[in-house]
Amino acid sequence: MYKYLGREVGLLALSFAASMAFAADAPTLSPEAKSASGKIYFERCAGCHGMLRKGATGKNLEPAWSRKEADGRLTEGGTQKLGQSRLEKIISYGTEGGMPNFDDILSKDEIKNMAAYIQMSPDAPPEWSLKDIHGTWKLHVPVDQRPTRKMNNVNLNNIFSVTLRDAGEVALIDGDTKQIWGIVKTGYAVHISRLSLSGRYIHVVGRDGRLDMIDLWFEKPTVVATVKAGMETRSVETSKAKGFEDKYVIVGSYWPPQYTILDGMTLEPLKNVSTRGVTVDGDYHQEPRVASIVASTTKPEFLVSVKETGMVKMVDYSDLTNLRETTINTAKFLHDGGYDATKRYFLVAANASNKVAVVDVKEGKFTALVDTAKIPHPGRGANIVHPKYGPVWATSHLGADVITLIGTDPEKYPQHAWKVVQELKNHGANSLFVKTHPKSDNLWADSPLNPDPKLAGSVTVYRVSELGNPDPQPEVIDIAAAANLGKTKGIQRVVQGEYNQNGDEIWYSVWTGNKTEPSAIVVIDDKTRKVKTVIKDKRLVTPTGKFNVFNTQHDVY
């Protein structure tokens, strides 16, 4: 025992000595340059590498780190070991593992300062308690002062909530007329929009932790409540079980690592729960961030994916005083996910583990871990009926140029359930989203983070009815060229297809990553795959995510 303890102390001493040696060589920045680099890190890097820089989907970016391997060896590394020149090249040109290039987004000085910044010790971000959250809550329009009927003639089912990332806004675009109905000021880099079950309220959450509740019944879309749920947030969902329609909203934070339950009509903070704890490997983690959240439609439960621990929390919200969690072990690091077509099974990408985890929502149990190609990134995925394998769920990948199809029907197709039944060729790796619609015969995939401008600006589309053929061939469409934006400094990245309510149009954003350059939304006729409309407006500043009201409200994907 003493020998064991002595060895552990020796390893710690070596690790400490190494970190001190690195620290002595740490670069410096002026206060202004450090502050600017910190802001860029938060906006562009923390989502993959963590606020504490300990890594998840992205690599560990601490100045010096060490870990004990299973065989007892001590492995060391860190940004200081990589050095300034190597870091600048990585930031500029990206990596094959899925990190995008930033040479078209950041200036040379910003890249140089960022390389220096991540060699410096990370600053400890503040905590954010329920009391802190409550202090930010603003009820702009009380419930009894809101309209009792719809005050506009807009087809709300076909409204698109479009993230204007760098403007800190969302655009509400009429899917029928293709006109902007309203622009709403929100937080920075809205990550997602989610609908209340009634379809009346859009909840948009940004990376700066701000949540806005937009009422669609006014003559123009109006923010009726606002709250800051954390320092960085990525997910929001509303209660959908019978008897709890629109009653609660849940927000998941990256920092602090926690989820918060709010009143569904006012956003008043009600319950705050930390996700810090032990991982599926048995190690304690201080930054287990909340990734995707879905709401059960049959039980009063939210399914909360905790990234670093590799656990799905089934949160029973029927009694907030006696809150109950069912914890399901899956795999690290959980990220995006969605339902199968029946909404019984939740499939979520454990992207850094190259797996997709499956949870049976009805039984509240772990179902399967499916091995996939590198770094699956599905968004909410796509559900199609394969001519050979029956119902399948699709994901594309950040780290591989394939679209993976997983069988999802254990009753009629048990031989294919929870297995990769087919891999389709994508036009490039670095994909973020796949998309289809129940009324469509198409399956689409983007590749916006690819460093090749031609690949980043194109999409792959397969005909679902042809997937049973021995060698199905896709069509690759250059969406960026169709937008006709002219020459831009930034790569014209085409991202996140979203269908209209009827499933006969798919919308893509053309995003240059720079708010001073033009952007567009390209509307494609789903049947002919031809450009139908290009929406250009100087108010469309860096459009990224798009969320159709009806499809988002009813989990259609």
* 191 is a catalytic site residue: no
pLDDT tier for residue 25 given thresholds of 50, 70 and 90: low
pLDDT in tens, 365-377: 999 999 999 999 9
Does the active-site annotation cover 134? no
Exactly one of 335, 386, 397, 437 is catalytic; which is it? 335
What span, in angstroms and rounded, lies between the C-alpha atoms of 475 and 472? 10
pLDDT at 266 over 50: yes
C-alpha 235/C-alpha 306 separation (Å) is 11
Mean pLDDT over 139-155 rounds to: 98
- Per-residue pLDDT tens over the stretch 454-508: 999 999 999 999 999 999 999 999 999 999 999 998 899 999 999 999 999 999 9
Q: How far apart are CA 261 and CA 124, in angstroms?
A: 25
Please say if the pLDDT value at position 76 is more than 90. Answer: no
Find the farthest-apart pair of alpha carbons in the chain and give their distance in angstroms, rounded: 78
**Cα-based distances in Å from 80 to 15, 27, 291, 470:** 14, 9, 29, 50
Cβ atoms of residues 10 and 69 within 8 Å: no
Q: How far apart are CA 51 and CA 68, in angstroms?
A: 23
Region 33-43: what's the mean pLDDT?
87
Catalytic residue at 554?
no
In 132-176 the beta strands, taken as DSSP E runs, fall at 138-139, 159-164, 169-174
What's the pLDDT at 14?
37
The yes-or-no verdict on residue 542 having pLDDT over 50 is: yes
Label residues 103-136 b or e (16+ Cβ within 10 Å = b). Answer: bbbbeeebbbbbbbbbbbebeebeebeeebbeee
Within 420-537, where are the H helices?
453-456, 479-483
Return d(Cα 239, Cα 213) in angstroms, integer. Answer: 14
Tens of pLDDT, residues 300-342: 999 999 999 999 999 999 999 999 999 999 999 999 999 999 9
Tell me how far apart the alpha carbons of residues 555 and 557 are, in angstroms, rounded to a whole number: 6
Sequence ranges of the domains in the chain: 2-117
Residue 49 annotated as catalytic: yes
pLDDT number for residue 98: 67
Which pLDDT score is estimated for 24?
52
Q: Residue 17 — very low, low, confident or very high, per pLDDT cuts 50/70/90?
A: very low
pLDDT of residue 65: 86
Burial 443-475 (b: 16+ CB within 10 A, else e): bbbbbbbbbeebbbbbbbbbbbeebeeeebebe
CA pair distance 194, 174, nearest whole angstrom? 17
Using 50, 70 and 90 to split pLDDT, how confident is the model at 402?
A: very high
Q: Is the pTM of this model over 0.75?
A: yes
157 vs 77, residue with greater confidence: 157
CATH topology of domain 2-117: Cytochrome Bc1 Complex; Chain D, domain 2 (1.10.760)
Q: Which residues contact 118 (CB under 8 A, 6 or more apart)?
A: 41, 45, 53, 61, 63, 79, 87
Q: Among this protein's residues, is 51 annotated catalytic? A: no
Active site residue: 51, 99, 114, 213, which one?
Answer: 99
Over the stretch 77-104, which tens digit does the pLDDT of each residue have? Answer: 899 999 999 999 999 988 866 687 888 7
Question: How many Cβ atoms sit within 10 Å of the Cβ of residue 429?
Answer: 24
Average pLDDT over residues 517-546: 96
Fill in the amino acid letter for 272: N
At 167-223, the pLDDT tens digits run: 999 999 999 999 999 999 998 889 999 999 999 999 999 988 999 999 999 999 999
Question: Among residues of the chain, what percentage have pLDDT more than 90?
Answer: 80
C-alpha distances out from residue 342 to 39, 293, 339, Å: 42, 17, 7
Record the tokens describing residue 449, joined without a space.
Answer: 């983070």
- Cα–Cα nearest to 519, from 510, 529, 527, 528: 510
**Cα(298)–Cα(244) distance, integer angstroms:** 11
How many CA atoms, within 13 angstroms, populate the side-chain half-sphere of residue 527?
4
Kindly state the percentage of the chain with pLDDT values over 70. Answer: 95
Instruction: Tell me the C-alpha distance between 208 and 225, whole Å.
Output: 16
Active-site pick, 203, 285, 377, 416:
377
Does residue 20 have a pLDDT over 60? no
Query: Average per-residue pLDDT in the chain?
Result: 92
Active site residue 48: yes
pLDDT recorded at residue 472? 97
Please state, in angstroms and rounded to a whole number, the distance separating the CA atoms of residues 524 and 531: 5
Asked if residues 345 and 337 have their Cβ atoms less than 8 Å apart, the reply is no
Rounded Cα–Cα distance for residues 267 and 302 (Å): 17
For the residues 262-279, what does the mean pLDDT come to?
97
- Residue, of 348 and 99, whose pLDDT is higher: 348
Among 49, 191, 203, 397, the active-site one is 49
Catalytic pick among 48, 51, 114, 231: 48
